[in-house]
Amino acid sequence: MQNPLAKPLNQLHHALEAMKPDLLAKIGAQAKIFTNDNFRLQGFQGDVFEPWVKRNPDKDPGRAILVGKGTAHLKNSIHIIAITADSVSIGTSIPYAQIHNEGGSIRHPYREVTMHYKKVSGKLRLAKLTTIGDQMQASEFRRSSVSNHVTNMPRRHYLGPSPVLDKQIIALIRENISSTFKIIQ
């Protein structure tokens, strides 16, 4: 006598295997949304919310943490890196991403630099040059040296495992499995 559950179980197995690549892509997309939410909230949603350490409030007041002036390179660089048969990975290839996410020390070696100066109100002031036009307006250039030093970067966790993300992924899996069951019935 043949098992009456064999055919429906076989159908379920094939349906679940067929939905896996699409489900993994949806999980990766959900993880990216979660990470973008961390940037929006200015902190990490873990067991408890971990707000990011604010920089000097006098410098660029109101600007979001980890977002450069007019850019969002780090935030916008988060993408699905790989989808395998059983997993999905998201991340970024930006070199400074890891030090921001984990915190730590950056060792800067001794180096020679060119300092650009502009005349402002009759006085020579150090100029922040962002374009070639700014460089052309600089009135004086001086070579200078910067000694070796260490910058301590606070941890601003934005990417990684989280119980909040786990709940979102479980809800996504349940929704997809539920729709698969409806197809089989």
How does pLDDT run across 80-129, given as a tens digit for each residue? 999 999 999 999 999 999 999 999 999 999 999 877 777 777 776 666 65
Query: What is the structure's pLDDT at 37?
Result: 96
- pTM of the entire structure? 0.76
Distance from C-alpha of 54 to C-alpha of 88, rounded to nearest angstrom: 32
Percentage of the chain with pLDDT > 70? 85
Q: Which helix (H) or strand (E) holds 176?
A: helix 163-184
Whether 108 and 99 have beta carbons less than 8 Å apart is answered as no
Distance from C-alpha of 75 to C-alpha of 78, rounded to nearest angstrom: 6
Confidence grade of residue 11 (pLDDT, cut at 50, 70, 90): confident
Distance from C-alpha of 41 to C-alpha of 169, rounded to nearest angstrom: 20
Whether 156 and 103 have beta carbons less than 8 Å apart is answered as yes
Looking at the predicted structure, is the pLDDT value of residue 17 above 90? no
For residue 49, the cross-strand partners are 45
Looking at the predicted structure, is the pLDDT value of residue 185 above 70? no
| pLDDT tens profile 139-178 | 677 788 889 999 899 999 999 999 999 999 999 999 988 8
Per-residue b/e over 32-45, b at no fewer than 16 CB within 10 Å? eebbebbbeebbbb
Q: Determine the 3-state secondary structure of 134 from DSSP.
A: helix
Distance from C-alpha of 84 to C-alpha of 116, rounded to nearest angstrom: 50
Confidence grade of residue 183 (pLDDT, cut at 50, 70, 90): low
Confidence grade of residue 62 (pLDDT, cut at 50, 70, 90): confident
Distance from C-alpha of 153 to C-alpha of 53, rounded to nearest angstrom: 10
